[in-house]
């Protein structure tokens, strides 16, 4: 080897070494704030996960007959082909009604400490009972859901296999538990997880710079943990309230849950995994560009202008939170019978 080549190789390996040190320092900081996704399906409260229950929950998630009209399934607004949401400003539900809020993704939702933009449901099983009954979503009743399920022998078999030993396995509670078990499998390991787990090459230079900015600017003071959010409540507009175009005055967030004045315009710090798949942004769904959403967060939550170059790097980092989507085989659902309640179309 010629001396100059030797020198060159030495310089390259010194650089690689320096980069490795920088990466491991950044990783150590990140590991204090964030956690990688677990490598197995997480355990649930009071709900044992079995293969039978996952399969049943999947069928229920995709079954439009769980709605009064027979049109809307969970997958209508949480489409697993489009990032687990509907990519609409606010969702369209029963009888073409427009709901009040943007649909969040169901991917990785099992790791949120509470569900909904205002955290009003403690877990996914409690959550699943909401949309079925919401007039602007599926507009159904628990009794009609149970009547629909018991009209199809295949569903009775599946509930019996999923809830062995129970006297009446086909119940609204068990409907919700089966969906919760299925949702617990909707996990998307991302390059950022690989980085947290020790792979220096998992993030490119812009993503690495973006991660550093995300921590230095203070985004991570609210967006942290496994889902980079989903685990704490903050006023939207902590420093400066965004305009009514982004934060419509009629939705006061957690105020409706706690009826405490301090909770006016308080929302759950949004979970940020797969965020580049789930435009438009915020509970109002008014912002379509992720870079703009990042800059709004800068002024509203941190009192800081985030310049274009910084916002681009933060957006690059957020891209590293997009993971491998779960592979979903479209389920074949039980056939309805003559006793299956007929779809209804009236506006309620």
The region that residue 119 occupies, defined by phi over 0 for left and psi between -120 and 50 for alpha, beta otherwise, is: left
Gap between the Cα atoms of 90 and 88, Å rounded: 5
Distance of closest approach, residue 306 Cβ to ligand HEC, in angstroms: 6
CB closer to ligand HEC, 231 vs 278 = 278
Contact pattern from residue 176 through residue 195 relative to ligand HEC, giving x for each residue in contact according to CB under 6 A and a dash for the rest:
---x----------------
Distance of closest approach, residue 162 Cβ to ligand HEC, in angstroms: 16
By the 8 A CB rule, do 337 and 344 touch? Answer: no
Q: Does 77 bind ligand HEC (CB under 6 A)?
A: yes
Gap between the Cα atoms of 317 and 290, Å rounded: 12
Q: Taking contact as CB under 6 A, which single stretch among the options 10-18, 32-40, 96-104, 196-204 is the one that binds ligand HEC?
A: 96-104
Candidates 69, 115, 174, 277: give the one binding ligand HEC (CB under 6 A).
Answer: 115
Of 308, 305, 303, 285, the closest CA to residue 241 belongs to: 303
CB closer to ligand HEC, 120 vs 151 = 120
Q: Does 111 bind ligand HEC (CB under 6 A)?
A: no
Q: Does 137 bind ligand HEC (CB under 6 A)?
A: yes
Q: Does 78 bind ligand HEC (CB under 6 A)?
A: yes
| 190 cis-preceded (ω within 30 degrees of 0) | no
Candidates 53, 58, 65, 101: give the one binding ligand HEC (CB under 6 A).
Answer: 101
Q: Is the dihedral of CA 91, 93, 96, 97 positive or negative?
A: negative
Catalogue the long-range contacts made by 45-54 (C-beta closer than 8 Å, 24 or more residues apart): 45/123, 47/125, 47/177, 47/180, 47/181, 49/181, 49/184, 50/162, 50/181, 52/158, 52/161, 52/162, 53/162, 53/163, 53/177, 53/178, 53/181, 53/182, 54/181, 54/182, 54/185
266-285 binders of ligand HEC (CB under 6 A) = 267, 269-272, 275, 278, 281-283
139: tokens are 């507009």
Q: Taking contact as CB under 6 A, which single stretch among the options 151-159, 188-196, 218-226, 254-262 is the one that binds ligand HEC?
A: 218-226
How many residues form the binding site for ligand HEC (CB under 6 A)?
A: 52
CB closer to ligand HEC, 165 vs 245 = 245
Of 184, 225, 216, the closest CA to residue 43 belongs to: 184
Which residues contribute to the site for ligand HEC (CB under 6 A)?
72, 74, 76-78, 91, 93, 99, 101, 103-104, 106, 109, 112, 115-117, 124, 127-128, 131-132, 137-138, 179, 217-219, 221-223, 234, 236, 238, 267, 269-272, 275, 278, 281-283, 293-294, 297-298, 301-302, 306, 314
């Amino acid at each position: 080897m010629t001396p100059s080549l030797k020198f060159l190789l030495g310089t390259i390996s010194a650089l690689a070494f320096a980069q490795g040190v920088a990466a491991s320092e950044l990783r150590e900081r990140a590991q204090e704030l964030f956690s990688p996704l677990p490598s197995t399906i997480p355990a649930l409260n009071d709900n044992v996960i079995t293969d039978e229950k996952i399969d049943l929950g999947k069928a229920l998630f995709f079954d439009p007959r769980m709605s009064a009209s027979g049109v809307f399934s969970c997958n209508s607004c949480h489409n697993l082909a489009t990032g687990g949401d509907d990519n609409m400003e606010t969702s369209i539900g029963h009888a073409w009604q427009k709901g009040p809020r943007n649909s969040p993704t169901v991917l990785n939702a099992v790791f949120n400490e509470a569900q909904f933009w205002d955290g009003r449901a403690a877990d996914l099983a409690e959550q699943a009972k909401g949309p079925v009954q919401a007039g602007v979503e599926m507009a159904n009743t628990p009794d009609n859901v149970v009547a629909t399920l018991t009209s199809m022998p295949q569903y009775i078999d599946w509930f019996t296999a999923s809830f062995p030993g129970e006297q009446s396995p086909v119940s609204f509670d068990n409907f919700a538990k089966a969906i919760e078990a299925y949702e617990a499998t909707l996990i998307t390991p991302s390059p950022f997880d690989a980085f947290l787990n020790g792979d220096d090459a998992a993030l490119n230079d812009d993503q690495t710079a973006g991660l550093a900015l995300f921590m230095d600017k203070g985004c991570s003071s609210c967006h942290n943990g496994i889902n980079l959010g989903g685990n704490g409540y903050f006023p939207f507009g902590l420093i400066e309230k965004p305009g009514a175009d982004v934060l419509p005055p009629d939705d006061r967030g957690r105020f409706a849950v706690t009826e405490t004045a301090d909770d006016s315009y308080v929302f759950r710090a949004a979970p940020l995994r797969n965020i580049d798949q789930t435009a438009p942004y915020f509970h109002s769904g008014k912002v379509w560009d992720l870079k703009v959403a990042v800059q709004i967060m800068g002024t509203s939550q941190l009192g800081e202008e985030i310049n274009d170059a910084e916002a681009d790097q933060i957006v690059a980092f957020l891209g590293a939170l997009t993971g491998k989507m779960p592979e979903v085989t479209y389920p074949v659902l039980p056939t309805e019978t003559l006793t299956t309640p007929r779809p209804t179309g009236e506006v309620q």
